[in-house]
A and B are shown apart, each in its own frame.
Chain A
Amino acid sequence: MSLVFTYSLRHLLTRKTTAFLTVIGIALVVFVFVATLMLSQGLKETLAGTGSSENVIVVRSGAQNEMMSGIAREAANALLAEPEVARVGDQPLATSDSVVLVSLKKRGSAEPSNVTIRGVGEQALSVRPQVRLTAGRNFTPGSREVLVGKAIHDGFSGTEIGQKIRLFGTEWEVVGLFDGGRSAFNSEIWGDVNAFMPTFKRDQFSSLLFKLAPGVDFAKLKPRLENDKRYQVSVMRENDFYAAQSDFLATFIRIIGGFISVVFSLGAVIGAMITMYAAVASRVREIGILRAIGFRRRAVFVAFVLECLMISLVGGVLGVALASLMSFVAFSTTNFSTFAEVAFDFTLTPSIVVWGLGFSLLMGLVGGALPARAASRLKVLDAIRQAG
């Protein structure tokens, strides 16, 4: 059947302009589709990739995010003394954090964004192993020194080591940079919780984070802590907690992306149909000859569908290639759930590439099917009588 292939391919090459325009149309649609998937994936990997399943985060009962949560010191100390909390020596492997948002101006923008400021305990970097110090040093306990996350450093001016950030009427010096991998922590500024809390004028922690002691069954721990009247808390695995915070934004992106992709694909399919109908119309006589020689209707159908699939596949590859360039673009926006700025990127996975190509082939199939069917249903005699 290589002759069918040759036949379809050669015809494509004789109608270059039309084929080109159709290819570009499909490429654009695939680009938008794949870019949307990449954005969703990036969001998922960042927020869902924040935190570990071996850590437990504790917030005030019913609080949706750390900002609105409050846990009193005594309750925090008592909870962290529970046996299920892993220990380092006699200290709990935990951090009691105080989290607020601060309005800072982004690089190259007139508008400020809400940056997450997190006061952390001494064990912060140990409990959160995905966060690594990449430059400078850790802050001195009790001092007005801060560490800046990678996304904040990249996106906001005035965050180099040695520079000072003005918060609450006082100046805080940047002494180190950290990289949280693909996590929301990259969009944060960290400092000593004991230095921040008096400045925030808060006397309650926002959240507690501890590592589970070996062999602990979280399923039993959760109800035990939540039902304990002393604490009034909600308890979740750290990664689940952050994943839940991406729900709104993820849904939003998915719905809009879905709408756009569906409507766009209709447009591309129509473009393909127009091209293919034209192709059929110009080859009626040829079709007649093929059928006279003895090619069945199905062979004609396949030849035209194949031609459309070739166009759409080229468009698909082009679209995926263009979309992959988006990996170099950083995306930063406000998470609706937390009101905080969160940076994530367009992430391309092999599965998304497959989806993109599959989508383009689907468009080619749908766009080519009706014209191909029309071609195959031409009456042999009528077709032969057509003058070219």
Chain B
Amino acid sequence: MDLTQLIIRNTLRRRLRSLLTIVGIAVALFAFTMIRTLIQAWHAGVEASAKDRLITRNATSLVFYLPLSYQEKIARVSGVERVGRANWFGGEYKEERFNFDQFAIDENWLDVYPEFKFSPEARQAFLEDRRGALIGRDVANKYQLKVGDTVQIKGTIFPGLWEFTVRGIMEGRDAKTITRILLFNWDYLNERNKTELNRESDQPGIFVIQLKSGANPAVVAKEIDQLFANSYAETLTETETAFQQSFVSMSGAIITTLNVVSGVVVLIILLVLANTMFMAVRERYREYSILKAIGFKRRQLRTLIFGEALLLVSGGLILLALFLIPIFLLPPEKILGPLNVFFPIFTLAPSTILLVLVVATVLGAVSAAIPYSDIARARVTDGLRRLG
């Protein structure tokens, strides 16, 4: 009988305990995986961002806008390929806010964001229709919208009822692109601001900038901000990645908490495993002593004990996989339920899988270490004296 067989037999001896341990590990690893995936999902905007795009906004805060005249000035800065403008609209659709991003944009914006793919006809139709809208694939699917349909949005920042006609559906370039988006013509927003709403007009919220290839983002950003320093509307220009990251950091406290919690999960796994290994070794103390008396070396004893821990961990991982596979085959809305508004993308990243594997293995080793060292050091005669 070789060691592997012995390891397996030992684990099967206390079938119920082994099963419970495996389930416990799987449950805790499940929590760990979901929390880490949630933290990852929080960074979806960062993941989708580009380092060669800059965002210029009012340095005071996003609540303040910028003069339209800035756009040409920015376009003339060296390193800038093109500049687009946008306003965050943030209206209510079907009585819910935050279902999808809504932006009022100009034509340049479409070229700054090539990851949204749609036909030239759709582009033409959109630009020609003042009240046209382009919607992302996610939105089209969720609300079963097709080209030609009307979308009615109740404005919150810009009050009133806003009706748009869908002129095109945009596909994302890859899985990272967030297609939970609706775009409409900036001119329409501006027009209504001027005529109906008596609000400040000619004020984009942000400028989106595409850099010429080879241009240094930090240098260009600084130059742009220099242009408007000491004016009433000072600007803050940063890479899109930094811009998205700042949103994530706004919930920094929550993310830290989640990180702490995922650490606690790891502890719990360790406790369950350590408990089991402790009991397993203790009840077989005499047996292990006999093995040593027969001539087993420490190395083999170590293989037995660590092997058992790793076998349990493997069982937990397999059970975990059985859980995770069906869950992550579902679309995010089904997984997250009401939380889906915050997280349009929710996928299991390979890095998370790797992390889980590493953590599980390390925990297995740690949980076996103390009971092993205990028996490794013990004298054979002491062990034999113990009953069972």
A–B touching in complex (CB under 8 Å): yes
Binary interface encoding of chain A residues 99-127 relative to chain B, with 1 for a CB under 8 A from any of its CBs, else 0: 01111000001011110000000000000
Q: Looking at the assembled complex, report how far the CB atom of B25 sits from the nearest CB atom of chain A, in whole angstroms.
A: 9
A388 in contact with B387 given A264-B31, A277-B20 (CB within 8 Å): yes
Give the distance in Å from the alpha carbon of A264 to the alpha carbon of B154 in the complex. 41
Partner of B34, one of A67, A68, A259, A388: A259
Give the distance in Å from the alpha carbon of A286 to the alpha carbon of B19 in the complex. 26
A32 beta carbon closer than 8 Å to chain B: yes
Partner of B156, one of A17, A63, A260, A275: A63
**Cβ–Cβ contact B278 & A28, under 8 A:** no
**Cβ–Cβ contact B261 & A32, under 8 A:** yes
List residues of chain A with CB within 8 A of the CB of B272: 25, 267, 270-271, 274
Partner of B20, one of A22, A270, A388: A270
Which single residue of chain B is at the shortest CB-CB distance from A60?
B159
Binary interface encoding of chain B residues 223-234 relative to chain A, with 1 for a CB under 8 A from any of its CBs, else 0: 000000011101
List residues of chain A with CB within 8 A of the CB of B359: none
List residues of chain B with CB within 8 A of the CB of A336: 98, 342
* 27 intermolecular pairs with C-beta atoms under 8 Å apart: A17-B278, A18-B279, A24-B271, A25-B271, A28-B264, A62-B156, A64-B97, A64-B156, A100-B60, A100-B61, A101-B61, A103-B62, A103-B236, A109-B249, A111-B249, A111-B250, A169-B232, A260-B31, A260-B35, A266-B24, A267-B265, A267-B269, A270-B27, A274-B272, A275-B275, A277-B16, A334-B250
Binary interface encoding of chain A residues 319-355 relative to chain B, with 1 for a CB under 8 A from any of its CBs, else 0: 0000000000001111010010100000000000000
A102 in contact with B28 given A18-B278, A64-B156, A268-B268 (CB within 8 Å): no
A167 beta carbon closer than 8 Å to chain B: yes
The binding surface of chain B is classed by DSSP as helix
Binary interface encoding of chain B residues 263-303 relative to chain A, with 1 for a CB under 8 A from any of its CBs, else 0: 01101110110111011000000000000000000000000
Give the distance in Å from the alpha carbon of A286 to the alpha carbon of B14 in the complex. 20
The binding surface of chain A is classed by DSSP as helix
**Cβ–Cβ contact B339 & A252, under 8 A:** yes
**Cβ–Cβ contact A201 & B20, under 8 A:** no
List residues of chain B with CB within 8 A of the CB of A275: 275
**Cβ–Cβ contact B31 & A267, under 8 A:** yes
**Cβ–Cβ contact A28 & B267, under 8 A:** yes
List residues of chain A with CB within 8 A of the CB of B234: 169
Binary interface encoding of chain A residues 16-52 relative to chain B, with 1 for a CB under 8 A from any of its CBs, else 0: 0110011011001101100000000000000000000
Q: Looking at the assembled complex, report how far the CB atom of A71 sits from the nearest CB atom of chain B, in whole angstroms.
A: 12
Give the distance in Å from the alpha carbon of A17 to the alpha carbon of B28 in the complex. 21
**Cβ–Cβ contact A271 & B24, under 8 A:** yes
**Cβ–Cβ contact B17 & A278, under 8 A:** yes
List residues of chain B with CB within 8 A of the CB of A331: 253
List residues of chain A with CB within 8 A of the CB of B254: 253, 333
**Cβ–Cβ contact A333 & B251, under 8 A:** yes
Q: Which residues of B contact A (CB under 8 A)?
A: 14, 16-17, 20-21, 23-24, 27-28, 30-31, 34-35, 38, 59-64, 90, 97-98, 154-157, 159, 199-200, 230-232, 234, 236, 245-246, 249-254, 258, 261, 264-265, 267-269, 271-272, 274-276, 278-279, 337-339, 342, 387-388
* Interface residues of A, count at CB 8 A: 60
A227 beta carbon closer than 8 Å to chain B: no
Give the distance in Å from the alpha carbon of A62 to the alpha carbon of B275 in the complex. 57
List residues of chain A with CB within 8 A of the CB of B38: 256
A77 beta carbon closer than 8 Å to chain B: no
Give the distance in Å from the alpha carbon of A62 to the alpha carbon of B95 in the complex. 11
Which single residue of chain B is at the shortest CB-CB distance from A387?
B388
**Cβ–Cβ contact A101 & B63, under 8 A:** yes
**Cβ–Cβ contact A111 & B61, under 8 A:** no
List residues of chain A with CB within 8 A of the CB of B264: 28, 31-32, 264
**Cβ–Cβ contact B28 & A333, under 8 A:** no
Give the distance in Å from the alpha carbon of A101 to the alpha carbon of B60 in the complex. 8
Which single residue of chain B is at the shortest CB-CB distance from A63?
B156
List residues of chain A with CB within 8 A of the CB of B90: 68
Q: Looking at the assembled complex, report how far the CB atom of B166 sits from the nearest CB atom of chain A, in whole angstroms.
A: 24
Q: Looking at the assembled complex, report how far the CB atom of A116 sits from the nearest CB atom of chain B, in whole angstroms.
A: 10
A244 beta carbon closer than 8 Å to chain B: no
A255 beta carbon closer than 8 Å to chain B: yes
List residues of chain A with CB within 8 A of the CB of B64: 100, 200
Give the distance in Å from the alpha carbon of A68 to the alpha carbon of B264 in the complex. 40
Which single residue of chain B is at the shortest CB-CB distance from A202?
B200
A300 beta carbon closer than 8 Å to chain B: no
**Cβ–Cβ contact A109 & B252, under 8 A:** yes
A271 in contact with B275 given A29-B268, A32-B261, A169-B232 (CB within 8 Å): yes
Partner of A255, one of B27, B245, B339: B339
Give the distance in Å from the alpha carbon of A28 to the alpha carbon of B338 in the complex. 27
**Cβ–Cβ contact B21 & A201, under 8 A:** no
**Cβ–Cβ contact A339 & B62, under 8 A:** yes
Give the distance in Å from the alpha carbon of A260 to the alpha carbon of B264 in the complex. 11
List residues of chain B with CB within 8 A of the CB of A32: 261, 264
Partner of B17, one of A29, A253, A260, A277: A277
Give the distance in Å from the alpha carbon of A111 to the alpha carbon of B30 in the complex. 31
List residues of chain B with CB within 8 A of the CB of A168: 60, 232
**Cβ–Cβ contact B21 & A274, under 8 A:** yes
Taking A29-B268, A62-B156, A68-B156 as given, write out 18 further A-B residue pairs in contact, using a Cβ cutoff of 8 Å, ordered by the A residue number.
Answer: A21-B271, A21-B278, A22-B271, A28-B264, A61-B159, A62-B154, A63-B159, A64-B97, A100-B60, A109-B252, A111-B245, A167-B60, A200-B64, A256-B258, A271-B268, A274-B24, A274-B276, A277-B17
Q: Which of A1-23 contact B (CB under 8 A)?
A: 17-18, 21-22
Q: Looking at the assembled complex, report how far the CB atom of A268 sits from the nearest CB atom of chain B, in whole angstroms.
A: 7
Partner of B279, one of A169, A201, A267, A278: A278
**Cβ–Cβ contact B271 & A271, under 8 A:** yes
Which single residue of chain A is at the shortest CB-CB distance from B265?
A264
Partner of A263, one of B27, B62, B156, B388: B27
A251 beta carbon closer than 8 Å to chain B: yes
Q: Looking at the assembled complex, report how far the CB atom of B332 sits from the nearest CB atom of chain A, in whole angstroms.
A: 14
**Cβ–Cβ contact A62 & B159, under 8 A:** yes
Which single residue of chain B is at the shortest CB-CB distance from A279?
B279
**Cβ–Cβ contact B274 & A111, under 8 A:** no
**Cβ–Cβ contact A333 & B279, under 8 A:** no
A114 in contact with B250 given A101-B63, A168-B60, A168-B232 (CB within 8 Å): yes
List residues of chain B with CB within 8 A of the CB of A64: 97, 156
A273 beta carbon closer than 8 Å to chain B: yes
Which single residue of chain A is at the shortest CB-CB distance from B245?
A111
Which single residue of chain B is at the shortest CB-CB distance from A113?
B250
A102 in contact with B20 given A18-B279, A113-B250, A201-B200 (CB within 8 Å): no
Give the distance in Å from the alpha carbon of A352 to the alpha carbon of B251 in the complex. 25
**Cβ–Cβ contact A100 & B63, under 8 A:** yes
Give the distance in Å from the alpha carbon of A139 to the alpha carbon of B388 in the complex. 81
**Cβ–Cβ contact A25 & B230, under 8 A:** no
